[in-house]
Chains A and B, each alone.
Chain A
């Protein structure tokens, strides 16, 4: 048996390693490049379109001119509505899961179901929202129906991030509080929640980013193709940014001429997501702990 030449072997190993590492580095940079390609494309095309009028005016001339004000308002309404539902419910559910219920079959079922809900495609939420809220409960195509549908979609995200935030709270805090004779709820409310609060808020911001970009769930529950006025009640239809972008780029009356408005709309959407991500990251850094999105 001839032993391999040490130096030759070492050289070979080194070469293989640097080839492999370079490939991986390049592929990783490629992904970053793709991200920047998408972002910069939309920023460059959209930045010229966005101005004060664009965000505060109604659409005009078959949506080829004017602004996207109603779509912005609609999306804000939907985000607010869905969070009004998902945030309290999600946080309460997470508190129950993490602070109250003991390991066992019930916890397992709830966990499993939450996971399942998170895995359901958004278009199925759309189907469900339409058949339950729009048809069965007679909300019609309305902000209420759309918000509830989006809220259900965001629920697993809120639950998961909140649970992680609660798990990150050291048990000694709980024991100290309970040891002083505080009840479970008192402990949760005045000790655990304040410590977990920043991470819970981070989760909230990330879900807002997610909800504001969703299209499929609102297609049949709220979204209006064109509505030159603002919604006045939760039973009104509304325009929404992502749906507006979809309409402008695929089925508008004049796709070519409405392209600039589409770029502008895409940029507004991206800015919302960017702000949500930056805010969440900033908070995370500021408070030093981590909440995972996925």
Chain B
């Protein structure tokens, strides 16, 4: 059984086609890296899994995206519930203009949970999960803007995890971070694999190599190659993949 499947997925911004016939299946509790040059469609593809592209006017999708076997673009699908199931971490740390505590509690609150004790426990648990607890436990009531960039990003990961999704999407989560923060986030991704299915978009080849189990290489809206990360990096079947990975273009 696959966690995520996409079958013949096309995607259009107005008249221009951003994704062409993508077929891909992701197993549960794995980390999948989406790589490729800018504008290849990898971010667009990632944002299909929680229907984030719905927010953009004049877009169209063809084919099917299945999560746990259900078509998430079928009629009558509750998008809010879907997004609860599929967490997302963004390129730049984007905490809300709220306290550290409220940032993590946000997803619980907007999903109708009012039990104070439950929220407190879950917030603590999640912040511990992203290894941030020792750094912030004394300033939970302070603004999230007071944290460093790396701390903010881990907080955003905690925010996504607090509502207990089964899938976590990460859109270049370390591109705005310094090397030390980056390695902390990478360690975290590795550990989270036990509980979640993770899909990560990255520009950084080394990062893809370090954290992912499988890698998909996109080029000009097409899925060029999809395989075990090891295979992709050591023995790619397509020459274009080889060229990209070795830095001949990108």
Contacts and interface: CB of A to CB of B under 8 A. Distances in A.
Interface stretch (A1-9, A42-50, A132-140, A161-169): A1-9
Contact of A10 (B80, B113, B118): B80
Nearest to A4: B112
Contacts of A9: 80, 111-112
B78 interface: yes
A15 interface: no
A12 B112 contact: yes
Interface string A2-30: 01101101101100000000000000000
B81 interface: yes
B134 interface: no
A3 B113 contact: yes
Chain B binding site: helix, strand, loop or mixed by DSSP?
loop
B138 interface: no
Given A10-B78, A10-B80, A10-B81, A4 B115 contact: no
Nearest to A8: B112
A13 B110 CA distance: 9
A247 B67 CA distance: 74
B81 A6 contact: yes
A147 B146 CA distance: 52
B208 to A, nearest CB: 35
Nearest to A6: B81
A7 B78 contact: yes
A7 B111 CA distance: 11
Contacts of A7: 78
A158 to B, nearest CB: 36
A87 B176 CA distance: 46
Interface in B87-125: 111-113, 115, 118
Nearest to B114: A4
Contacts of A1: 113, 115, 118
B182 to A, nearest CB: 33
A13 B80 contact: yes
A3 B115 CA distance: 10
A4 B78 contact: no
Contacts of B115: 1
B203 to A, nearest CB: 27
Contacts of A6: 78, 81
A187 to B, nearest CB: 34
Contacts of B113: 1, 3-4
Contacts of B81: 6, 10
A3 B80 CA distance: 15
Nearest to A1: B118
A53 B173 CA distance: 72
A13 B84 CA distance: 14
Interface in B48-99: 78, 80-81
Nearest to B81: A6
A115 B111 CA distance: 45
Nearest to B121: A1
Contacts of B80: 9-10, 13
A290 to B, nearest CB: 21
A254 to B, nearest CB: 58
A4 B78 CA distance: 15
Contacts of A4: 111-113
Contacts of B111: 4, 9
Interface string A108-125: 000000000000000000
Nearest to A3: B113
Nearest to A9: B112
A254 B119 CA distance: 72
A49 to B, nearest CB: 47
A218 to B, nearest CB: 46
B68 to A, nearest CB: 15
A20 to B, nearest CB: 14
B91 to A, nearest CB: 26
A3 B81 CA distance: 13
A10 to B, nearest CB: 5
Interface of A: 1, 3-4, 6-7, 9-10, 12-13
19 contacts: A1-B113, A1-B115, A1-B118, A3-B113, A4-B111, A4-B112, A4-B113, A6-B78, A6-B81, A7-B78, A9-B80, A9-B111, A9-B112, A10-B78, A10-B80, A10-B81, A12-B112, A13-B80, A13-B112
Given A3-B113, A4-B113, 10 more contacts: A1-B113, A1-B118, A4-B111, A7-B78, A9-B111, A10-B78, A10-B80, A10-B81, A12-B112, A13-B80
The 4 closest A-B pairs by CB, nearest first: A4-B112, A9-B112, A1-B118, A10-B78
